[in-house]
Amino acid sequence: MKLLSLESFSKRPGRVLMLALAAAVAATALPARADAVDTLRGFVQTVQSGRAAFTQVATSPDGAKKKTSSGEFEFQRPNRFRFDYARPYEQQIVADGQKVWLFDVDLNQVTVRPFDQALGATPAALLAGGTLERDFTLSAEPDQGGLQWAAAQPKAKESQIRQLRVGFRGKDLAAIELTDALGQRSRLDFSRFEANLKLPAERFRFSAPAGADVLQQ
């Protein structure tokens, strides 16, 4: 299993993305006519923390199967975030700036990876990291579905992401769409976003529960 990358469609939705931060963002004070690329650059620079609800839909390469999950996420720059998946399976993904922890509640299993290895050119790196221009080539796309869209193409040749798009409604982050190398698509829609909150430091710490299997990767 590889954290923060899309996996086969048979895996649980909580292992698909990160978001993570992942941790997403919104509401930046940019000019009204700024395109989605300017907006993306702006919130990476100005939004230091946030909290939102999300719904994630993963679609099989042939479009015939879909899986939906939902939960909440929080982030605090630099490089701290958490995803709490509530449905259909309870999972937690927590990044403390040095490691990323994935806790599968049903299996009572924790998987740990170094932060830099876990992120790579992923949505979490795009939204919560500080290397936007280093890791991605950005371009504006046509408006669609009432949103402004920016494309972020990973520069790493070995990236498991084929295509990544970020959608904004006005100045607010509204959605992330991505397609992996196998053609599986995943979309996260965000709601109730709150920007620049003062979040407790313990929200980005993780201790394995008693009796849990801990796998180091």
Which DSSP string do the residues of 49-98 spell out, in sequence order? EEEEEEEEEEE-TTS--EEEEEEEEEEETTTEEEEEEEESS-EEEEEESS
Give yes or no for a contact between 74 and 190, defined as CB atoms under 8 angstroms apart.
no
pTM above 0.85, yes or no: no
Please give the Cα distance from 43 to 55 (Å, whole number). 21
Question: In this structure, what token pair is assigned to residue 160?
Answer: 């498991």
Please give the Cα distance from 125 to 127 (Å, whole number). 6
pLDDT of residue 165: 92
Report helix, strand or coil for 191.
strand
Q: List pLDDT tens digits, range 17-63.
A: 443 333 333 223 333 346 899 998 887 888 888 899 999 999 999 98
Residue 191 has pLDDT above 90, yes or no: yes
Please give the Cα distance from 202 to 30 (Å, whole number). 32
Output 61-68 pairs: Cβ under 8 A, ≥24 positions apart.
Answer: 61/9, 61/182, 61/183, 61/184, 61/185, 65/9, 67/9, 67/13, 68/13
Highest-confidence segment of 29-33, 49-53, 68-72, 125-129: 68-72
Q: Domains (ranges, CATH) in the chain?
A: 13-190 (2.50.20.10)
The secondary structure of residue 202, as a DSSP letter, is: G
